[in-house]
Structure 1
Amino acid sequence: MVDVVTNNEAESRYEVHVEGALAGFLEYRIIGDVIALVHTEVDEAYAGQGLGAQLAKYALDDAVARDVKISPLCPFVAKYIDKHPEYRVTIR
């Protein structure tokens, strides 16, 4: 079970923790009014549990809430957006 997904601004990444352990992250860069979602990585021990999708959703929802455009440089995030067209309006 996922304990928490957070925005670790000091590290410029969203993080997902499972039972207190860092299970994955999604790195980003802020460029003006655009958030570039650069790289998603989930520890092999947590593969297949949907954590990457949770990270992508959290990051995209955060960008929408902050009213910034998204640049999905990470192939995983780009594929997530393809499957969830509601996020396409936020792409730069």
Structure 2
Amino acid sequence: MEEKIVDNHSMNRFELPVGDATAVAYYRIENGRVVLVHTEVPQELSGQGIGTRLAKGVFEAIRASGRRVIAKCPFMAAFASRHPEYLDMVDG
């Protein structure tokens, strides 16, 4: 199933709605690159792979935008290191 990741520009975050909850990945733009700074998955969604689904969708959305990524968020950095298909778009 294709995940519906929403880029909420006004809040500088990517969102993955799951039922009544939302997992989010906060970012900022620096020199045209997307700096991923923090990821939050609601406690009630913990252990269900939601963070991984969010990360995959975030990296796919950024790839589609043609931008590069700086993963300052430890979760996103770990995701990128475990998924070499995204390493070509990661700086730093």
TM-score norm. by structure 1 comes to 0.89
What one-letter code is carried by the residue in structure 1 that aligns with 2:65? R
5+ residue gaps in structure 2? none
Structure 2 match to 1:52: 51
TM-score norm. by structure 2 comes to 0.89
Structure 1 match to 2:83: 84
Aligned-pair CA distance for 1:31: 1.3
Please say if residues 5 and 58 of structure 2, whose CA atoms lie closer than 8 Å, have aligned partners that are also in contact: no
Task: Tell whether 2:55 aligns with 1:68.
Answer: no
Structure 2 match to 1:42: 41
Query: CA separation in 2, counterparts of 1:44 and 1:38?
Result: 19
Structure 1 match to 2:8: 8
Query: CA separation in 1, counterparts of 2:40 and 2:28?
Result: 15
What one-letter code is carried by the residue in structure 2 that aligns with 1:9? H
Moved over 2 A (4+): none
Aligned-pair CA distance for 1:23: 2.8
Deviations 1:13-72 (A, max 9, x none): 0111112x2331100101122000110010111101111111111111111111111000
Give the total of aligned pairs: 89
Please say if residues 72 and 91 of structure 1, whose CA atoms lie closer than 8 Å, have aligned partners that are also in contact: yes
What one-letter code is carried by the residue in structure 2 that aligns with 1:34? R
More strand by share: 1
5+ residue gaps in structure 1? none
% same residue? 33
